[in-house]
Chain A
């Protein structure tokens, strides 16, 4: 079991209010990802759940028990740190076994569990080495091994892959996903990375300045963002926001359209926005065009890699009206039917 509920959780660092009041329910077995801009309080929130920071107010319930007054050890959670945080003076085996030793488990059971974890994570060939003799990816595997042997109620990850190179990051991402499918344990995962968030999460929490902007499935957030902040934060490249004359046509102050929902044509068509191509980023499969549109300004357009346009070309853009997002003066999404 691993149901985690936050009720009006708040956190001050000195006089600075970092988290005003958060309510959140993480169901048992869910993979929940915290995303948000740097400094919005993702790590702080994770550390509050872990018990590494004291809350300033509110309750944290794990399986319906208030753990606010409990030290980290008593909460039954495991954490994987961005820096791996392995014990440098212990072998991989002892790193993984440490938590079990602290729990007073007998040697035979410890060995069995460590060997099992080593097998799952493929640590066999370096089980007797020290962390200093391992690569970044191997270290992160050991850190995950250390987290799983304790059979926690939930795993907490704080940007676990951000120190790895791109290829390894993809591989580890898949492994973490596999691990979740296999263990079916609750996981809370903090990341900066859009792709990690979208691919790993059952549910995403978008945080901004210590507040939950939206909590929902990745596609929910992508298709129906609750406000301009979420709309701009989820999705890569970012959603285009259009104000002024072209937004007035839809009777709202601001409309948003994702780069992939802008139709492009090299020939003039009625009602299309006229734009001049600035930079074209060719990724192979896709091309991102950064264009300067008449009466609108900078827009990003995502087109097929086959389309042949380059700097200085004039293009004609038509938004997919069914994919248009309308925002009111406060930046909230207007959901009224057309």
Chain B
């Protein structure tokens, strides 16, 4: 256990880790800094890192030009709605596959994953036509359904792997104790799988929040979430880097804050089962 680590080595490894973290984080930082620059500074060569004239005018313009909160509210609706619907379907599905598998279970899981391998654009036209004919275009309900379906395979896969680590005996004990199927799942399975469920929920919220293909193609105004809000600043006539950065910063702020506060859950969930 007590492996000897020299101070020098420790400094080296720590420094390396910080460097890697910085590189990963850099684009977000750069976006954040750019959002406080004037459009001119945003383009300057060489780019200035910290020593430019800080301004909040971009935020003012963006807030003035578009209704941020309406977009944000739509994002909240879409991510929470699709996640809730996803859990409702995925928990029983994963329960079934983890605890009463048949010889088709593996195949089903792989088949579900294979649907994720298809590029979404391949089904854009049929789905667009269905949405148009059913009057679902630019509705929250339609978007929630599509995001739910897109993420369902991932939710089921994740829950399945967490559930599989739970000893069957404990569920059987609950059955002997007189728990109905619903109560067994609610009072015994779910509490034991909390870390896994939490990270699944978080991941799904993040994925839905940032999903840009379907949200951009199937919405115009009423159901448009923050991805559409960002997109509206990347106009073809010429990019306004600073305003685009301000819009992007505002769009990802809520999800970063959520991630920050739940990072413990997230890390615990994503590494669940790795250490017994």
Contacts and interface: CB of A to CB of B under 8 A. Distances in A.
By DSSP majority rule, is chain B's interface helix, strand, loop, or mixed? helix
A99 B177 CA distance: 4
B232 interface: no
B175 A83 contact: no
B176 interface: yes
Given A88-B192, A89-B192, A150 B170 contact: no
A14 to B, nearest CB: 9
Interface of A: 50, 52, 71-73, 77-79, 81, 83, 85-89, 98-99, 102-103, 146, 150
Nearest to A102: B178
Contacts of A146: 173, 177
Nearest to B172: A52
B174 interface: yes
B179 A102 contact: yes
Interface residues of B, number: 18
Given A52-B172, A83-B169, A98 B177 contact: yes
A98 B180 CA distance: 12
B168 to A, nearest CB: 9
21 contacts: A72-B172, A73-B175, A73-B179, A78-B176, A79-B173, A79-B176, A83-B167, A86-B173, A87-B170, A87-B192, A88-B170, A88-B192, A89-B192, A98-B177, A98-B179, A99-B178, A102-B178, A102-B183, A146-B173, A146-B177, A150-B177
A78 B173 CA distance: 9
Interface in B112-131: none
B188 A87 contact: yes
Contacts of B187: 98
Given A88-B192, A89-B191, A89-B192, A102 B177 contact: yes
Interface string B184-197: 00011001101000
Interface centre among B173, B175, B192 (most CB of A within 10 A): B173
Given A85-B169, A98-B187, 18 more contacts: A52-B175, A71-B175, A72-B175, A72-B176, A73-B175, A73-B179, A77-B176, A85-B167, A85-B173, A86-B170, A87-B170, A87-B173, A87-B174, A87-B188, A98-B177, A99-B177, A146-B173, A146-B177
B184 to A, nearest CB: 9
Contacts of A83: 167, 169
A106 to B, nearest CB: 16
Nearest to A156: B176
Contacts of B183: 102
A72 B169 CA distance: 13
A174 to B, nearest CB: 24
A173 B169 CA distance: 22
Contact of A98 (B169, B172, B174, B194): B174
Contacts of A72: 172, 175-176
A100 B169 CA distance: 19
Contacts of A102: 177-180, 183
A299 to B, nearest CB: 42
Nearest to B193: A89
Nearest to A79: B176
Contacts of B175: 52, 71-73
B105 to A, nearest CB: 14
A337 B179 CA distance: 57
Given A87-B188, A89-B191, A73 B173 contact: no
B166 to A, nearest CB: 9
B178 A103 contact: yes
Contacts of B188: 87
B199 to A, nearest CB: 17
A187 B65 CA distance: 77
B172 to A, nearest CB: 5
A81 B169 contact: yes
A79 B175 CA distance: 10
Contacts of B191: 89
Interface centre among A71, A87, A146 (most CB of B within 10 A): A87
A152 to B, nearest CB: 9
B155 to A, nearest CB: 22
A237 B20 CA distance: 65
B261 to A, nearest CB: 23
B18 to A, nearest CB: 35
Contact of B170 (A73, A78, A85): A85
B176 A50 contact: yes
Nearest to B103: A14
Nearest to B191: A89
A85 B178 CA distance: 15
Interface centre among B177, B187, B188 (most CB of A within 10 A): B177
Nearest to B166: A88
Q: Which 5 A-B pairs have the closest CB atoms?
A: A99-B177, A85-B169, A73-B178, A85-B173, A102-B178
A146 to B, nearest CB: 7
Contacts of A73: 175-180
A214 B51 CA distance: 91
A79 B171 CA distance: 12
A85 B180 contact: no
A87 B167 CA distance: 10
A81 B191 CA distance: 21
Contacts of B167: 83, 85
